[in-house]
Structure 1
């Protein structure tokens, strides 16, 4: 149970990010500064964590091969793009809607795998689409039902779901033999590089970062990179990736609850019911898989 709580804490930390981002926007900071601060400080923090772990281990320093390093950097590019488009969506729509759109990665990933690998989805995945889609319709909220939500935010939110599904597909196959923390350092480096390339880090030179932006960068890096990556690296080997994938869905209710409690965004009872349906859809494939004999586990969540 200790490791269950560790993984839950790591997953819940992801749910805080949209609220922190909204609060940073309310203080006048822009997309480039917010995302850039998170990715840069996240990379620095993961490097420090990896150095500390290497100092405690008696084994020699573990290095990925050149090919593995390049693939990890490319994976980092994808997660960096996810942060850019997701935080971009938060400029136009409420945090509670943005997280709902991000969670569309569940069925987008199933569809993408079916198209790319030309493989029919598992029966459990198909059954899961019913509560996922029904929950999305309910959880989207009245602004979407009335067509009043900003189309830019909806497009960016769905784009974040697409890039996040691509990241999950890549993270489960890239350099699996490398230590999770070492992999995370390279992925964090890729995220920082693509962010600085697409959003030049002007905030580092115009006084924004030292003037207060660094505080939001520290919070986003801690709860978006350091805590969840470390928690999954410690907990998943003990509880298994299948259970971790279910526990990872706690990000959704945490994000919606934070948007309601801290940001004051209205969340109706039908929307909460939609959130529960989405959680059920996320958990259903793994629950059905556990009932099947000799079933392989599903991949653990990661970002």
Structure 2
């Protein structure tokens, strides 16, 4: 239960990231500044924590694998930000959230085991809830092919990130794993968006404060929680629990940006919450039934 809660909270942290990033854009910050600063601030904070709390060293092979997992995380963020340039946010997030079924499918392929009825039912409910909560059923929808492709790549990369984070160097301390994961994300973002703004002296107070907030919400908190929780609950369950991101994103947008959600979107949120709860409820029912059978 504890590890499921940690993964759920990681999704909530990612959910708060979206409205904060919108606030950063509204303040005049550019995508290259936001993407690089997010991962760099997270790397700086996690590395400081590791140096203070952990003395265990990790082998280069494990560190390299974790850094590759971080690259998939960086790719997911980059593709999603780029998709927002040509797609409405509601459409982009609905497409990106297809990582729910992608993650379950990836786990099934890797483990060569078809997901149980509870996971399958959960994914179906989640996909319906995500479509409703994203507002895709309301109004006329215009889709840009490049935007759709980028959002789909974001979902694919994120499902790989969750898979890797639950299977690579799982015996290492979560803080050490988190540092190397975020290191991969920093290197990838620096390669795609070289931090020219630092060399040009465009470091503002706004960039520092937003960088700290975005680094915490999009890097430190979810990376650490996923590093600790995913190895215990499994990648398939983790993708289901991370669906908490969308309801929190809608709530954060309402509180921070003044955006209103429709009745259909609210019903979608309820479906998402129900979909997340299905595996846990099913697990408890099986456990309770087993106890009754023993007695």
What's the TM-score, normalizing by structure 2?
0.82
Q: CA deviation at 1:213?
A: 1.9
- Which residue, out of 73, 79, 97, partners 1:103? 97
Work out the CA distance in 1 between the residues paired with 2:86 and 2:135: 15
Aligned residue pair count: 288
Aligned to 1:28: 28
Unaligned runs of 5+ in 1: 55-60, 295-303
Does structure 1 conserve the Cα–Cα contact (< 8 Å) formed by 2:104 and 2:236?
no
Unaligned runs of 5+ in 2: 289-295
Aligned to 1:298: none
Corresponding position: 1:264 with 2:255: no
Corresponding position: 1:139 with 2:139: no
- Which residue, out of 206, 209, 220, partners 2:214? 220
Q: CA deviation at 1:233?
A: 7.0
Work out the CA distance in 2 between the residues paired with 1:212 and 1:140: 30
Aligned to 2:194: 200
Q: CA deviation at 1:101?
A: 3.4
- Which residue, out of 111, 119, 126, partners 2:113? 119
Does structure 2 conserve the Cα–Cα contact (< 8 Å) formed by 1:18 and 1:87?
no
Corresponding position: 1:78 with 2:72: yes
Aligned to 2:19: 19
Aligned to 1:176: 170
What's the TM-score, normalizing by structure 1?
0.80
- Which residue, out of 160, 175, 182, partners 1:166? 160
Over aligned residue pairs, what C-alpha RMSD do you find?
3.4
Work out the CA distance in 2 between the residues paired with 1:238 and 1:165: 17
Work out the CA distance in 2 between the residues paired with 1:63 and 1:100: 40
Work out the CA distance in 2 between the residues paired with 1:31 and 1:188: 18
Does structure 2 conserve the Cα–Cα contact (< 8 Å) formed by 1:101 and 1:158?
yes
Does structure 1 conserve the Cα–Cα contact (< 8 Å) formed by 2:12 and 2:242?
yes
